[in-house]
């Protein structure tokens, strides 16, 4: 029985947040980037031995037949692999979204390196296990490990493609088999772009089922609902529907649950929803103040320290740019909460993006592009943005923080939900006034958020009342 999409998203997001999510990627993920299907790849080799690839389902055996027929057949396959995969360069939308998820373990049977490039484009260091030799070392500070269990385009001679290679896989690639078994036990996997025709994986899953009995870890796979093709008979369509039903029921025996989508485009929507939800506990705190306005600097520090403490105590991740008279207070509260809970670490719960300052003789305006890039990166990593105070000194005049106003604009572009504490003055008051003009554009019909935003714009709130209101709004967003 397929799992409801919302149920799957919530379960997988929980796994991502606690660092227990894995991803298993098949060829389908790279098709939108121009990667050839296996049938297209083997079309010419099949024809050369009198076979029709459209009539074959066991393509691994078909590749073996081709290799059996000629001593240089494997060389020709390698040349075709280089030709077809070497020119791939377009990172598709799904790969871009996945690269923004806090995921540290990816298994793939793909030869291309587009997903690795997507992660690198997000400034993540990849540890890529292309061969057995790569298991002996890892790059420093790597954030994600790729296990390329069938090889890589950089070394097509070792790419797994024929039936004999599959038959000998357990013996020749024992390190991969052992590592995959371990990950399937420890993590919740999402299989994407994968057909489950790989005999290696079937063998590993059967071994785990025997070892774990009735208590295996739950995993999920995305699959498109059958759709009647043009000119297809009702009988043939019903046959395909029944076949997919039987496949889903069979995979349930391995605790791999189907998540059906109406079309392939919906996979992007599902991934976007996962990204959005997983970021909802990443809270961007924007605050900077050089002069007392709506709130004194002393009370601002108390507010920021207590708020950051409470946010992390409630298992939120703080994202911050270390603004004037704000950064120290935020870090202080965060560290207090982290040190009280042995299960929490600084790297996991506190994301600081310090702004580089201009060299002597350079203006602050000269850093504009670099600062904008940092702000975009911070908000890429956030689901909620809290704006507090926000003023700066410009030629001995106290003006609104242009940086905070830019952060609000970026938050809107990236669908990050804003929570301005308007009564603290400065840019946050400006942001609050803008939201007050049209609450529904920002919060829909959510009365908790609308009433909370109204309350935070009013003077006279205590620090405790302010924090209670903010936390109530965040809980409502995250529920």
The CB-based long-range contact list for 197-202 (8 Å cut-off, 24+ gap) reads: 197/57, 197/59, 197/60, 198/109, 198/166, 199/60, 199/166, 200/149, 200/160, 200/166, 200/169, 200/170
Q: How many CB atoms lie within 10 A of CB 30?
A: 26
Q: How far apart are the first and last CA of the chain?
A: 26
The residue among 295, 472, 296 whose CA lies nearest residue 384 is: 472
Q: What are phi and psi of 8, to 5 degrees?
A: -60, -50
- Residues β-bridged to residue 288: 389
Where residue 255 falls (left for φ over 0; alpha for ψ -120 to 50; beta otherwise) is left
Please, are residues 305 and 333 in contact by the beta-carbon 8 Å criterion? yes
Q: Please state, in angstroms and rounded to a whole number, the distance separating the CA atoms of residues 458 and 115.
A: 48
State the DSSP H helix or E strand holding residue 419, giving kind and residue range, or none if neither: strand 417-421
Q: Please state, in angstroms and rounded to a whole number, the distance separating the CA atoms of residues 401 and 425.
A: 11
Distance of CA 325 to the CA centre of its chain: 33
List all residues 6 or more positions away from 230 whose beta carbon is below 8 Å from its beta carbon: none
User: What tokens appear for 400 in the block?
Assistant: 């609104």
State the DSSP H helix or E strand holding residue 448, giving kind and residue range, or none if neither: helix 447-456
Q: Please state, in angstroms and rounded to a whole number, the distance separating the CA atoms of residues 35 and 31.
A: 5
> In terms of DSSP bridges, do strands 105-108 and 21-25 run parallel, antiparallel, or are they unpaired?
parallel
Q: Please state, in angstroms and rounded to a whole number, the distance separating the CA atoms of residues 51 and 40.
A: 13
Q: Please state, in angstroms and rounded to a whole number, the distance separating the CA atoms of residues 476 and 7.
A: 18
User: What tokens appear for 250 in the block?
Assistant: 């069979």
3-state secondary structure of 223: strand
Half-sphere exposure of 422 (CA within 13 A, CB side): 17
Q: Please state, in angstroms and rounded to a whole number, the distance separating the CA atoms of residues 366 and 86.
A: 40
Residue 325 known to be catalytic: no
Give me the catalytic one of 150, 219, 282, 325: 150
The catalytic residues are 150
């Amino acid at each position: 029985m397929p799992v409801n999409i919302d149920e799957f998203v919530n379960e997988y997001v929980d796994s991502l947040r606690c660092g227990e999510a894995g991803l298993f990627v098949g060829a389908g993920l790279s098709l939108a980037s121009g990667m050839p299907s296996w049938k297209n790849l083997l079309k010419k080799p099949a024809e050369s031995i009198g076979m029709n690839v459209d009539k074959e389902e066991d393509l691994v055996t078909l590749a073996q037949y081709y290799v059996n027929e000629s001593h240089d057949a494997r060389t020709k396959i390698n040349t075709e692999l280089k030709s077809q995969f070497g020119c791939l360069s377009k990172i598709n939308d799904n790969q871009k979204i996945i690269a923004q998820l806090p995921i540290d373990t990816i298994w793939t049977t793909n030869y291309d390196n587009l997903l690795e490039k997507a992660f690198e484009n997000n400034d993540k260091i990849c540890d890529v296990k292309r061969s057995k030799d790569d298991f002996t070392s890892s790059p420093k500070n790597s954030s994600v490990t790729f296990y390329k269990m069938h090889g890589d385009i950089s070394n097509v001679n070792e790419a797994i493609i024929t039936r004999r290679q599959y038959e000998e896989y357990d013996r020749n690639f024992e390190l991969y088999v052992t590592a995959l078994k371990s990950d399937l036990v420890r993590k919740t996997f999402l299989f994407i772009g994968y057909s489950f025709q790989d005999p290696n994986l079937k063998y590993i899953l059967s071994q785990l089922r025997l070892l774990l009995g009735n208590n295996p870890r739950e995993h999920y796979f995305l699959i498109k609902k059958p759709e009647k093709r043009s000119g297809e008979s009702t009988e043939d369509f019903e046959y395909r529907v029944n076949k997919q039903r039987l496949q889903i029921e069979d995979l349930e025996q391995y605790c791999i649950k189907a998540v059906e989508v109406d079309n392939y485009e919906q996979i992007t929507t599902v991934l976007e929803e996962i990204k959005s939800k997983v970021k909802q506990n990443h809270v961007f705190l924007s605050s900077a103040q050089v002069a007392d306005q709506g709130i004194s600097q002393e009370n601002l520090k108390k507010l920021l320290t207590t708020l950051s403490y409470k946010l992390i105590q409630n298992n939120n991740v703080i994202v911050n740019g270390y603004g004037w008279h704000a950064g120290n207070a935020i870090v202080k509260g965060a560290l207090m909460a982290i040190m009280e809970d042995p299960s929490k670490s600084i790297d996991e719960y506190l994301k600081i993006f310090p702004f580089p300052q201009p060299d002597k003789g350079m203006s602050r305006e000269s850093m504009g592009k670099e600062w904008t890039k940092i702000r975009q990166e911070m908000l890429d990593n956030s689901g909620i943005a809290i704006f507090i105070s926000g003023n700066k000194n410009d030629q001995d005049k106290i003006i609104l923080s242009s940086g905070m106003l830019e952060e609000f604009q970026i938050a809107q572009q990236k669908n990050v939900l804003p929570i301005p504490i308007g009564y603290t003055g400065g840019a946050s008051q400006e942001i609050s006034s803008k939201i007050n003009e049209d609450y529904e554009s920002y919060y829909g019909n959510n009365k908790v958020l609308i009433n909370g935003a109204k309350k935070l714009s009013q003077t006279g709130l205590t620090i405790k009342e302010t924090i209670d209101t903010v936390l109530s709004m965040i809980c409502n967003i995250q529920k």
